[in-house]
Amino acid sequence: MQRIAALTSGGDAPGMNAALRAVAKVAAAGNIDVIGVEQGYEGLVDGRFVDLTVRAGPDRVRSTRQVDAAGGLGGTILGSSRSERFLHAEHRRSAAEGLRAAGVDGLVVVGGNGSAAGASVFAELFPVVVVPASIDNDIGCTRYALGVDTALNTIVDACDRISDTARAHKRVFIVEVMGRQSGYLAMSSAVAAAADAMLIPERHRTESELLDSVEGVVRTSFERDRDKRRVLIIKAEGVPYPTTRLTRDVAARVAEDLPDVEVRATVLGHLVRGGSPTFRDRMIAGRLGLAAVSALVEGASDEMIAWEPAIEGGIPTRDPSVQRFPLAHVLADTEALLDGSSPVTQRRVKMTEAIEGVLAL
């Protein structure tokens, strides 16, 4: 293998740049050139390539200065986008021809479940492996995706700050966090931030049930024999009850009995996506990047590199924490995560139910 391409696709996630740096450095150590593809699959169709390594001699390759400096940056230096054109076979064929014309022998895709689906189809035309990156942690076959740890640290820090002002004014804050169909960020951050309740889509509760539950938490928290001045409720964006409306409805329910309690909403939104990756995200990115390059060199394709998978069926690597899974297996497990049939999702729901009464104490 003489040249590898790498791209970042879908929603950006802290750790993507660290993965690009790892791919470039590992490949350079093996005398393999690396080019980056700008703007994800859209750039792949257009052939928008940039060098991530430079050749200093017949047997000497080194990463570029931009790549060296990028590992600690959030976002992605290559850019990312969603591509409608890549859904069509003729554009995928054009992308594969463009890679071959550029002398590329294999492709590393850093992205989430949509990116993995695109890579699986593209693997019919060109060797490709995937490094999972998504703050939502909604990708099958891997315990963590890049960006999850950074996002959780950002959420917890924001909730600590919100709690400070909540205690000063005796307020209830309903904080919405990202996650699409997955409640992982809400569930994990609720425990870490000592929230009083969490609302996740996996429990499939009706608006009436959600409103009753939140009202009950507020009333219990502000009982007369309790010296409590803040209530923090973390809500996943995938819960189908708009946060601002939920906040108004709760406020209306408790206004007469708790006139001195204010109910506020905070939507963290894309704040959660940004920021420099944590040590954990940088470390995982390095190890997944190493395994991705090694997989391509060994002739692998149509696979994802997974971190500490919770299911069996993976292909071992030299790293005991890293395994490779066929993309078909990954996509099936991802669908199970999202539709609730996965044992991982079911375990998360049971854990949520078990600690529900503890959080409000």
Task: Give the catalytic positions in this structure.
Answer: 136
DSSP class of 46: H
Structure tokens of 342?
Answer: 């996965």
**What span, in angstroms and rounded, lies between the C-alpha atoms of 79 and 43?**
9
Q: What is the residue whose two structure tokens read 């049939």?
A: 341
- Strands 128-132 and 106-111, sheet pairing: parallel
For residues 52 and 39, what is the distance between their CA atoms, to the nearest angstrom?
15
Q: How many residues does the chain have?
A: 361
**Cβ neighbours of residue 41 closer than 8 Å, sequence gap 6 or more:** 7, 9, 81, 82, 83, 85, 86, 95, 115, 118
Taking CA 254 as the corner, what is the angle to CA 253 and CA 260, rounded to the nearest 5 degrees?
Answer: 150
d(CA 233, CA 220): 13
**The CA-based dihedral angle spanning residues 324, 182, 195, 239, taken in that order and rounded to the nearest 10 degrees:** 180
